[in-house]
């Protein structure tokens, strides 16, 4: 089983690249963003709670996110592996994910970070916000708040996974095909 954590700042191309990775490597794609959006659209209690955080550009609290991901993994017992997109975002979440996977006899195989300059990403998100309907992509201040959250809480994951020799940085600037090739090279050499 191969379990990949894909991370990067909002707008770095995680969703686009996740589609490729899940097909090529036959992985179950678990996107916290997609799961939250489904719950928000369907006005579930979790969706209402998640929306209050997301509308402010904040991250959804760990305990809500962790329980949701555990449930999704357990719904797919025959999976060849998982692609975690947008999770973990903090060291506490990474430790909880590791403990959960160990309880299932599994582990994280690698983490791949799509890296890109903030100014390029802000422009990408503002453009996406024109058509996505996502309020968190339409306000530059909220976007920059999300990057501040990322820098404070998620960036330390690099050190956490480097210590386990599982961290791989990939340049997230270029054509979709170029970025896809860079990701393939990393995963094929695991």
| CA–CA distance, 5 with 108 (Å, rounded to integer) | 7
Cα 60 to Cα 28: distance, rounded to the nearest angstrom: 22
pLDDT value of position 57: 82
* Terminal C-alpha separation, the chain: 12
Active-site amino acid positions: 14, 89, 128, 134, 146
Angstrom distance (rounded) from CA 170 to CA 18: 14
Phi, psi of 112 (to 5 degrees): -125, 125
| pLDDT 10s digits, 90-145 | 898 999 999 999 999 999 999 999 999 999 999 999 999 899 888 888 999 989 99
What is the spatial distance between Cα 6 and Cα 160, in angstroms, rounded to a whole number?
14
This prediction's pTM: 0.82
Round to whole Å and give the CA distance between 81 and 104: 12
Catalogue all structural domains in the chain, each as residue range(s) with its CATH number.
2-180 (3.40.50.300)
Beta-strand relationship, 28-31 and 167-171? unpaired
Beta carbons of 90 and 157 less than 8 angstroms apart:
yes
Instruction: Please answer whether residues 13 and 114 qualify as being in contact, where contact means their C-beta atoms are separated by less than 8 angstroms.
Output: yes
DSSP state of 135: G
What are the pLDDT digits (tens) for 32-76?
Answer: 878 878 888 999 887 888 888 888 888 778 877 887 788 889 889
């Amino acid at each position: 089983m191969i379990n990949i954590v894909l991370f990067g700042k909002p707008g770095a191309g995680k969703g686009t690249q996740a589609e490729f990775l899940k097909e090529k490597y036959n992985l179950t794609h678990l996107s916290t963003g997609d799961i939250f959006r489904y719950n928000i659209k369907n006005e579930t209690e979790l969706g209402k709670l998640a929306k209050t955080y997301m509308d402010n550009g904040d991250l959804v609290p760990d305990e809500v996110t962790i329980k949701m991901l555990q449930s999704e993994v357990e719904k797919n017992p025959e999976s060849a592996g998982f692609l975690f997109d947008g999770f973990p975002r903090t060291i506490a979440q990474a430790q909880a994910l590791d403990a959960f996977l160990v309880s299932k006899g599994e582990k994280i195989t690698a983490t791949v970070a799509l890296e890109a300059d903030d100014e390029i990403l802000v422009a990408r998100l503002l453009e996406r916000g024109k058509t996505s309907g996502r309020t968190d992509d339409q306000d530059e201040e909220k976007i920059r708040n999300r990057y501040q959250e990322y820098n404070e809480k998620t960036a330390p994951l690099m050190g956490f996974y480097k210590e386990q020799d599982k961290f791989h940085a990939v340049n997230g600037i270029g054509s979709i095909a170029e970025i896809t090739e860079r990701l393939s090279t990393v995963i094929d050499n695991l």
